[in-house]
Amino acid sequence: MEKEPERTLEAMEVPVKEVPEMTSSNDGQGSLLLLFIFLWILTPILIAINARITTPLSPGDSLPAGQYRSTCGLLSIIPQEYTGCVDKVLEMKDDGLLTLTEYDGEIETLIWELKGSCPSDTECVATFEEDTSFTIGGKLVTKKKVDVTLTPFPFTTQPIKTKRKK
DSSP string, 107-135: EEEEEEEEE---SSGGG-EEEE-TTS-EE
Domain 27-166 has CATH 2.90.10: yes
Gap between the Cα atoms of 44 and 13, Å rounded: 63
Percent of the chain with pLDDT over 90: 51
Residue 164 confidence (pLDDT): 43
Residue 2 pLDDT class (50, 70, 90 cuts): low
Residue 10 confidence (pLDDT): 59
SS3 98: strand
| Lowest-pLDDT choice from 5-19, 109-123, 150-164 | 5-19
∠ CA 82-84-86, nearest 5°, is 130
- What average pLDDT does the structure give for the chain? 84
pTM as predicted: 0.74
Instruction: Please give the order of strands across the beta sheet that includes 62-64.
Output: 62-64, 125-128, 134-136, 139-141
Residue 12 confidence (pLDDT): 59
Instruction: Give yes or no for residue 67 having a pLDDT over 90.
Output: yes
Task: Answer for the pair 97, 114: CB distance below 8 angstroms, yes or no.
Answer: yes
